[in-house]
Amino acid sequence: MNTFLLPDLGEGLTEAEIVRWLVAEGDVVAVDQAVVEVETAKSVIELPSPYAGRVCTLHGAEGQTLDVGKPLFSVEPAPVAAEPAPAAAETEPSSAAAEAYREEEKAGSGNVLVGYGTASSAGSGRRRKPRTAATTPKAAPGRAARVISPLVRKLARDGGVDVTGIDATGPDGLVLRADVMRALAKPPASSPETRIPLTGFRKAVSAALTRSRTEIPEATVWVDVDATELWNIRESVRPGPGILAYLARFTIEALKRYPVLNSSLDTERQEIVQHDRINLGLAAQTPRGLLVPTVAGAGSMSVTGLDEAIRKVTEDAREGRPIDQSGTFTLNNYGGFNVDGSAAIINHPQVAILGFGRIIDRPWVVDGQIVPRKITQMSFVFDHRVCDGGTAAGFMRAVADAIENPLAAMVRW
């Protein structure tokens, strides 16, 4: 008997939650056949079997969390029997439905292992076994609605949504993520509350934020900044780098002047660890929740380079592709949510986070006259164990002065 242990999935992950078994005890599996879906703090992953034979034991139930190195499933060597030909209704979905499925998967499937991808790869020659489709009476006439994507199925299950009552809008009656989200937005018909379990990802986020609030004595300072000149520069170079790239560059220059803010705190040795590289984290809202993808080596990048890198890492985060989240300082653009300010939570083990609100027209005094200007609110949250208000204020003014006089700042680079 061969026992497959939950593998080390990288990036310091120590556990995973069983989302769905794709086989049952007694089933015959082939090498590289997907057996189980698990969710880590980073992504949802299909794990294939490295063994051929008959599944004799599943060592966990759906919804159970296992530690890395613990038994996941056991396979007893046995001849692989030929499978009966699937009925016509169970064959591969139409090309339109398959394409919709791949788009659903690409939107958040995350890592894949041993030949299992979110989209078919040219020349692989491997075909995935089609999964049984769920049906719903609300599909188009003559067609049954189907849930092909495991992520959509899990979203419905976690939200307590019955897929048989969902209006399917995908091709061939396919239930899409948007269909489930619409159903989740509707108030419950009878129950006054909805219980949504914390998945592996949400549990990891919850633990990190709780640790930050528990361990870090944080302080917040903020200032309104006149971004009119920066706005004008951005408009004059369209379609060049976006505002966020300039803000990132100004932040990097300020961190070079105040390197203690680009550090972490070793509480065991009572030491501040200043990092020799600036790896800039960007807070990004994704379908899976808040992620902080990192632009590694941001300290040596130009505005154009930062713009390209920021767009890439944030797109990777939103599309569910693997990302690096080991930043040394975090920049938060909550203005994208059309709000002015936020007292953000520091991304432990970092010691500070800088945020910007929306840029809007406000009355501003210039040379004794009240005129309309492009104003944004900048807020800075820092670990008071690492520095005092003077350092925080100096850093804030370094960024604010660069925003208000961008040409002068860029000349000094």
Task: List, for residues 182-233, the tens digit of each pLDDT value.
Answer: 888 876 655 577 777 777 777 888 888 999 999 999 999 999 999 999 999 9
Report pLDDT for 75.
94
Per-residue confidence at 127, pLDDT binned at 50, 70, 90?
very low
Residue 75 or 132, more confident: 75
Report pLDDT for 146.
67
Report pLDDT for 90.
39
Q: How confident is the model over 253-288, as pLDDT tens digits?
A: 999 999 999 999 999 999 999 999 999 999 999 888
- The count of residues in the chain is 413
382 and 261 in contact (C-beta within 8 Å)? Answer: yes
Q: Show Cβ contacts of residue 346 under 8 Å, excluding neighbours closer than 6 positions.
A: 212, 216, 218, 330, 352, 353, 381, 382, 383
DSSP-H helix ranges across 62-190: 95-106, 150-158, 177-185
Neighbours of 407 (CB within 10 A): 9
Question: What's the rounded Cα separation, in Å, for the pair 381 and 72?
Answer: 42
Domains annotated for the chain, with CATH where assigned, are: 2-83 (2.40.50.100), 99-110+129-185 (4.10.320.10), 202-411 (3.30.559.10)
Q: How confident is the model over 287-327, as pLDDT tens digits?
A: 888 899 999 999 999 999 999 999 999 999 998 888 999 99
Q: Is the pLDDT of residue 118 over 60?
A: no
The residue type at 63: G
Is-cis flag, bond preceding 349, omega within 30?
yes
Report pLDDT for 199.
72
Using CA of residue 43, residue 316, residue 250, residue 405, what is the dihedral sign? negative
Residue 136 in tokens: 């719903």
Query: What is the model's pTM?
Result: 0.60
Using CA of residue 263, residue 266, residue 272, residue 276, what is the dihedral sign? negative
Residue 296 in tokens: 């590694």
DSSP-H helix ranges across 216-349: 228-236, 243-257, 303-318
The residue type at 338: N
Residue 113 in tokens: 């292992």
Catalytically annotated residues: 384
**CA terminus-to-terminus distance, the chain:** 64
359 and 374 in contact (C-beta within 8 Å)? Answer: yes
Report pLDDT for 138.
44
Per-residue confidence at 63, pLDDT binned at 50, 70, 90?
confident
Per-residue confidence at 133, pLDDT binned at 50, 70, 90?
very low
Report pLDDT for 89.
37
What are the Cα distances from residue 255, in Å, to 266, 278, 280, 300, 341? 20, 8, 11, 12, 22
Average pLDDT, whole number, for the chain? Answer: 83
Report pLDDT for 126.
36
